[in-house]
Amino acid sequence: MKNIDKTTRLANYIIDMLVVYLLFFVFTIFENSYGVNYLAFYSIMFTYYFMFELTTHQTLGKMMTKTRVIYNDGTKPNVIRILIRSISRVLPFDALSYMFGYELGMHDLFSSTKLIKAK
């Protein structure tokens, strides 16, 4: 199985972050707090990734680019792997981990998962 290239991963990231920011914006409207609330933002981000990848092994970005998450041995990742993957995403250095020549991000390395083209 071939790893997904950085361009596809960037598209996933941009789409998913647009959704997360939209959800955060809606949250701030309902809460009537237009200040920056990092706890709320990262909670929304964690929940978005965790729930989508747990139930479908894809986020909206991955659905659009036709990719999905698998365990390194080719099987579906279990709840613990998705939990590790989702927690790793909220680390500030996760997004930067792609800038240093790796095809896998920290969330992939820590959770022993990767992306493949969806069937």
Amino acid type, 82: I
- CA geometry: angle 22, 68, 62, nearest 5 deg: 30
So what's the pLDDT on residue 77? 95
So what's the pLDDT on residue 102? 63
So what's the pLDDT on residue 12? 92
So what's the pLDDT on residue 19? 98
Contact assessment for residue 27 and residue 44, using Cβ atoms and an 8 Å cutoff: yes
Measured distance between the N- and C-terminal CA atoms of the chain, rounded to whole angstroms: 12
pTM listed for this prediction: 0.88
So what's the pLDDT on residue 119? 77
| pLDDT tens sequence for the chain (119 residues) | 566 888 888 899 999 999 999 999 999 888 877 666 888 999 999 999 999 999 999 999 999 999 999 999 989 999 999 999 999 988 877 777 766 656 677 888 889 999 989 87
The Cα–Cα gap between 64 and 90 comes to 22
So what's the pLDDT on residue 29? 84
Reference 4, options 65, 51, 75, 46; nearest CA is 65
The Cα–Cα gap between 15 and 12 comes to 5
